Amino acid sequence: MFGGYDYIPKATLKNAFERAFSEERNLSRWKKCGAVPLTRLPLQSKDVQHHIAINGSPETQEAHRLQEIAALNLSHCSILTASGFMGAALSKGTPRSQKTPPVVTVPQSRERIVAIKDAKAPGQMFHATGGQHLNSNEFFQAREHFKRLEEAKGIRDKKKNRLLLQETEKKTRQLLSEKGPLT
């Protein structure tokens, strides 16, 4: 892996790790995926999943190809179904996208802060913000809200414990007053 001289076959081996992870090779791969320099190159690739627009936007060549594949899929599945097979199980529609993602919350609102606080995955965060930019104030307010809820829970537990101790002491004093001191 790291190259060197092998004494058994008496051969010099190249450093495979250095060749695979050299600076030039890393930069070329990063450029291909749009990381260095930061570009939208991967989104323009034909290999990225395409959607057919619902609200009548101009269709791309890829969208037209997807519609042809969907039509062929439908016809082949109907032939299988007519022949007595379960063709409907193989039916697959084209992926469709909406124009705008549904906005669940309004920016700078309490509901949005709570939704951001409850988000446990990036998809939930995207759904909470509706794909809009996440304001740093909202993020910090969500973290502080979580922290304060934890503190309030701890205080409630302490209060419950103190009330229980107070009730026990009250019952103990009442029992001592009824029965008299222990002898």
Model pLDDT, residue 46: 67
**For residue 170, pLDDT beyond 90:** yes
111 and 173 inside one domain: yes
61 and 34 inside one domain: no
Mean pLDDT of 156-176: 94
* DSSP strands (E only) in the chain: 4-6, 11-13, 52-53, 96-97
**For residue 167, pLDDT beyond 70:** yes
Mean pLDDT of 44-63: 63
Model pLDDT, residue 129: 80
Model pLDDT, residue 152: 96
79 and 134 inside one domain: no
116 and 95 inside one domain: no
Burial 36-60 (b: 16+ CB within 10 A, else e): eeeeeeeeeeeeeebebeeeeeeee
Mean pLDDT of 20-33: 86
Looking at the 3D structure of the chain, how many domains does it have?
Answer: 3
Paired tokens of 60:
């791309």
Cis check: omega of the bond before 42, within 30 degrees of 0: no
Region label for 4, one of left (φ > 0), alpha (ψ between -120 and 50) or beta (otherwise): left
106 and 183 inside one domain: yes
Paired tokens of 4:
């060197």
Q: Which domain holds residue 55?
A: 49-99
99, 133, 160: which is the final residue of a domain?
99
106 and 181 inside one domain: yes
111 and 95 inside one domain: no
160 and 125 inside one domain: yes
108 and 172 inside one domain: yes
More confident residue, 22 or 154: 154
138 and 174 inside one domain: yes
114 and 180 inside one domain: yes
**For residue 2, pLDDT beyond 80:** no
**For residue 100, pLDDT beyond 60:** no
CA distance 53 to 63: 8
Cα–Cα separations (whole angstroms), residue 43 to 8, 49, 120: 50, 9, 26
Mean pLDDT of 115-139: 81
109 and 181 inside one domain: yes
**For residue 174, pLDDT beyond 80:** yes
Mean pLDDT of 60-89: 83
